[in-house]
Amino acid sequence: MSRRKLVSTLLALLLAIAWIGNRRGSSSDDTGASSTPQAVVANTSLTAPLQILQAQRQYEGVHSCSATACHGSGRADTTGSIQRNEYVTWFEKDPHAKAFEVLRNEVSQRMMRNLGIDIPATEYADCLKCHSPLSQAPRRGRRFYGQHGVSCEDCHGAAGDWIAPHYRDGWEDLDATQTGMLETKSLDSRARMCARCHVGAVDGEVNHDLIAAGHPVMKFEFSAYHDALPKHWNPGPAEKRPDFHARLWEAGQRAAAAGALKMLELRVSKADSQVDGAVWPELAEYDCFSCHRDLPRLAQNNTSAATTIRWGSWYSGLLERGSTQQDSALSRLRTVMEGSVVAEPKAVLREVRLALAQLEASEISFDYVRRATQSDSLDWDSAVQLYLAIRAHDQDNRKTRPADAPATETQIRIDRVRSLLQFPETFVSPRGFRRPGTEQPAPRAAVSTALRDLVNELESAGGAPDPSPEQESAPCP
Ligand code: HEC
Ligand code: HEC
Ligand code: HEC
Ligand code: HEC
């Protein structure tokens, strides 16, 4: 099962955090009073606000797609791009089909208790926003019934205005996005589409309240998540490129970082304009380990150096270290976020907007990985991101080898880096990158050296891509 696979690759690193199993109470004033989602999500600008729902459009529901003659065929057609059994793949294999069901599980029940909210998660708007967004749709078609989890229209757009034309003659001549269909061919828009839920959006977020209540920490990396998703489509032009995984990685870095910055912008602008219920500082923005590791230590040893609460680096650490800009906007933002216990909202707002603009203007490539591995001060999040980047680039090399070929030396070394980064089951923090099963810290230097060697190896193997020349943006569908 592919979600299990992902858990064992990427998230096992995190889910081993022992405290996740713990429970505690949290504020309960969070009644889902969020801004109403409005416009279309398919905007090509990185800085455009992201919404999960297209509130003006009509949703038709998954049963409008599932007919045998449409997308519910018993067998995949592998001749064209459309398999025709998309519904079956989604229903049987895709974790998104279970996204509503998980709101009934024990973790969800415990979360609701911890949040002090007296209704089941399956009825709580703050969960449904991401776990069954269509149930929040104000406009629904006649055939809409039941709960869908995350279904066709969440990724492909509200079908009200395209369901009829999309199987008729002349569809190819229309601009599909004008009908509300989301662009998923280009990897950039695909990545942004996933980031709405996996990073957060104006109409849904996973904050420290939710995490403290038991929600998994969201550490989205597009290439790993894309790999783990059971595919209900035949490889298109994007997939067929020899540097597909490198491109996935690039698109993911931009989309995830932009999503995280926009989340921060939203949080801090609510605080700045003193919106009711605004939470600032929002602890989910910060490096979990600066509190959860150092709090006990601080109690014993009150040194000021240890009191720095670091801004989280999952979405920014690699880009910050890999940037050629002397004065990287992300680094300036970090300075503001870490400058005082409660970062000044106006200053954060200014820097976050500059960082978004700089991100939009910059071209992310493997060069970022090379430069970032030169850093001697890698934190765990940035090191894991580098590991995932290297892994993605090696995937492209693997494609040229037979499926049953033995693991290459590079693969073995990549796996070794993974084990340096993995948490041992009994240990709650990646401090010092401890090796599983031992109390010996694997020195950060060992991780940095191993990552640097791998970068050199990939480059000499010709695996690192050229700085992506052509743009791929075929129209949809
Ligand atoms: C509308 C919200 C939404 C969108 C859009 C979305 N996801 Fe998800 N995704 C979820 C939710 C909620 C879950 C958890 C579901 C569960 O556990 O059953 C999830 C789970 C997953 C998982 C399984 C994770 C694990 O821990 O095993 C993968 C992989 C994944 N998504 C990939 C993607 C990719 C790739 C995209 C974009 C092509 C995407 N998702 C778009 C909401 C979304
Ligand atoms: C911003 C969107 C978002 C919101 C809001 C949200 N979730 Fe999630 N949730 C996700 C995503 C995405 C995942 C998958 C995370 C991953 O595996 O990386 C997930 C995973 C989970 C899981 C783990 C599922 C599994 O298969 O183990 C549970 C349980 C869960 N959410 C419950 C809830 C509950 C309860 C709420 C409301 C109190 C909630 N979520 C609110 C997006 C969201
Ligand atoms: C988690 C997001 C997600 C969900 C849920 C999802 N899809 Fe997709 N779908 C994609 C992505 C990404 C692609 C590949 C990009 C592309 O070909 O447009 C795709 C491709 C397709 C294609 C091929 C399009 C083409 O022109 O090649 C069809 C048809 C399709 N999906 C139908 C469905 C149906 C029907 C459902 C519901 C049963 C569904 N999808 C659910 C993300 C999703
Ligand atoms: C600025 C300090 C700070 C940061 C940063 C921080 N937390 Fe917390 N966390 C706390 C405090 C204080 C509590 C107890 C009060 C509460 O529940 O809000 C807590 C509670 C928790 C709990 C409930 C555990 C229990 O035993 O009560 C979890 C789980 C948790 N945090 C996870 C995280 C994760 C994951 C991150 C990073 C995304 C994070 N925290 C970032 C201070 C922090």
pLDDT digits (tens, 9 = 90+) for 132-191: 999 999 999 998 988 899 999 999 999 999 999 999 988 988 888 899 999 999 999 999
Q: Which ligand is nearest to the CA of 187?
A: 3
User: What's the chain's length in residues?
Assistant: 477
* 3-class secondary-structure state, position 335: helix
Position 118 scores a pLDDT of 96
Position 433 scores a pLDDT of 54
Instruction: Please give the Cα distance from 11 to 196 (Å, whole number).
Output: 19
Question: Contact, 389 vs 373, CB < 8 A?
Answer: no
Residue 313 Cβ < 6 Å to ligand 4: no
Supply the residue whose CA is at minimum distance from atom 32 of ligand 3.
Answer: 86
Residue 387 Cβ < 6 Å to ligand 3: no
Q: Which residues of the chain have pLDDT under 70?
A: 1-44, 293-307, 424-443, 462-477
Residue 332 Cβ < 6 Å to ligand 3: no
Residue 121 Cβ < 6 Å to ligand 4: no
Question: Contact, 250 vs 257, CB < 8 A?
Answer: no
Q: How far is the CA of 181 from the centre of ligand 2 (A)?
A: 25
Q: Which CATH number applies to 20-27+42-240?
A: 1.10.1130
Best mutation site among 17, 30, 208, 217 for ligand 4 pocket (most ligand atoms within 8 Å of CB)? 208
Position 439 scores a pLDDT of 59
Contacts of 420 (CB under 8 A, 6+ apart): 433, 435, 442, 446, 447, 450
Position 419 scores a pLDDT of 87
Position 405 scores a pLDDT of 87
Q: How far is CA 301 from CA 291, 296, 297, 400, 428, in A?
A: 14, 9, 6, 55, 20
Residue spans of the domains in the chain: they are 20-27+42-240, 268-460
Supply the residue whose CA is at minimum distance from atom 34 of ligand 4.
Answer: 288
Instruction: Please give the Cα distance from 381 to 218 (Å, whole number).
Output: 12
Instruction: Please give the Cα distance from 283 to 436 (Å, whole number).
Output: 28
Position 303 scores a pLDDT of 47
Supply the residue whose CA is at minimum distance from atom 40 of ligand 4.
Answer: 288
Q: Global pTM?
A: 0.89
Q: Which atom of ligand 3 is nearest to the CA of 229?
A: 1
DSSP bridge pairs for 441: 434
Residue 150 Cβ < 6 Å to ligand 1: yes
Position 422 scores a pLDDT of 81
Q: How far is CA 392 from CA 2, 223, 310, 365, 405, in A?
A: 17, 7, 27, 12, 18
Position 434 scores a pLDDT of 53
Maximum Cα–Cα distance for the chain, whole Å? Answer: 73
Question: Contact, 337 vs 311, CB < 8 A?
Answer: yes
Query: Exposed, middle or buried: residue 438 (CB in 10 Å: 0-12, 13-18, 19+)?
Result: exposed
In angstroms and rounded to an integer, the radius of gyration of the C-alpha atoms of the chain is: 22
